[in-house]
Chains A and B, each alone.
Chain A
């Protein structure tokens, strides 16, 4: 670990920018996917169209998408915006399906009860449907979080500073330890992100732990994200 101690300042800076480059797409992806996923769940036609678009976007390999960003949004090749926008696209592509499935998992009689006691559509969404969709949303977000943290490192190949730079630099200098430090730190960042999400889930969805059914649905959502099925 001598590499780590002698380069602590630089490694810390790379870690901080790695955290930013991963956190922004996760948050943006979640916020943007909520309305799109709602529309996807609302109408049969839009469901097919939006989920197909999401599937196609998610099929695009990361490095080529990073390289295509300057042509698509007019940024410089070295700009960190390329990485943030490209990873946000992946996050949205993955989360739209999860949001649609999560909202679909809310039992119909609960929604009818909410309407019956006088909830407007808007208030019913925020105070009934969204909280009940929470556990499935959380499962999807955890998948997005892990893959985003890992994919940020590919951005180092374009020269965007983050922990992935330890891989390119380590390869150039044939410095195995530097690469290993990078792998471990990225896995730690992914773990911390995951713990934060699980913690938020415990805090905001205290009932979810006792609910077996939503546990099963969450696992299924996570599985769908992996198998694309």
Chain B
């Protein structure tokens, strides 16, 4: 308890809110780096994921590559890229983190499109929509909650890993953790940790709200009962759980 009080004492100490190593600067760095990483990963992963989900091809390959990437230790990749490029800027960790943020976003994109019921797609084709129209007006809106779910877990991973990446001289909130451990200053380590956790939870909460907001009204109005699986008692919730996550 005294540790936690000391950590909050550190957080609210005005000394830690000014200068180039102050909390606002480090927090700003962390947010900007995370957004940049997420943007890069989304630009790469979303089109590929949509193509896989829309066409149903190369799914096995995507699952395999994603699984293998998940086994890749983040810290190792960050350090390795920094060493082989002999570059101590944010570029090597940016590349490493982009690679690691791709699997969840990719998985969200293709599983989102796959989760869309065939019937509305066939109906859309029947009334004469082109493939592109089917994608933008039917598949994408219905898949959006899962697509955003993928970006949501990518965001968590990116925020967590930029903390670890502060082992390199790139700044971000992880700096407080590494500086704290170097001088055995536990309030600083714990205070920095609390700020990172708060940032992660705020990010996760914002994405959770967005996921709920993007569920099309028609889906909420007419939740289809899926009786093909589960034990009756809760089977009605199996289908919506895909489109409106509960976490």
Contact = CB atoms under 8 A, between A and B. Distances in A.
Contact of B84 (A44, A64, A105, A176): A176
Given A61-B159, A64-B193, A67-B193, A179 B167 contact: no
Contact of A228 (B68, B201, B245): B245
A77 B229 contact: no
Contact of B201 (A56, A77, A187): A56
Interface residues of A, number: 62
Contact of A158 (B73, B153, B181): B181
Contact of A176 (B3, B68, B83): B83
Q: Contact size class for B?
A: 35 or more
Interface of B: 3-4, 7, 66-68, 70-77, 79-80, 82-84, 103-104, 107-108, 111, 145-146, 149-150, 152-153, 156, 159-160, 163-164, 167-168, 174, 177-178, 181, 186, 189-190, 192-194, 196-197, 200-201, 204, 211, 229-234, 238, 242, 245-247
B177 A67 contact: yes
Contact of A105 (B76, B168, B194, B230): B230
B245 A229 contact: yes
Contacts of B73: 150, 153, 164, 167, 182-183, 186-187
Contact of B83 (A108, A149, A179, A228): A179
B75 A167 contact: yes
Given A71-B3, A191-B71, A226 B247 contact: no
Listed from nearest, the 8 A-B pairs whose CB atoms lie closest are A108-B231, A61-B160, A55-B247, A64-B193, A229-B149, A71-B3, A183-B76, A190-B71
A167 B79 contact: yes
B186 A70 contact: yes
Interface string A66-79: 01101100000100
7 contacts: A56-B204, A71-B4, A71-B190, A150-B73, A167-B75, A226-B66, A227-B104
Interface stretch (A46-54, A117-125, A203-211): A46-54
Given A61-B163, A105-B229, A146-B67, A187 B72 contact: yes
A156 B167 CA distance: 12
Contact of A154 (B3, B66, B75): B75
Given A154-B164, A213-B229, A228-B152, 4 more contacts: A60-B201, A63-B193, A97-B247, A187-B71
Given A67-B193, A150-B72, A227 B174 contact: no
Given A71-B7, A227-B104, A108 B167 contact: no
Interface in A158-182: 158, 164, 166-168, 170-171, 174-176, 179-180, 182
Given A71-B4, A171-B83, A52 B247 contact: yes
A106 interface: yes
Contacts of B103: 226
A61 B146 contact: no
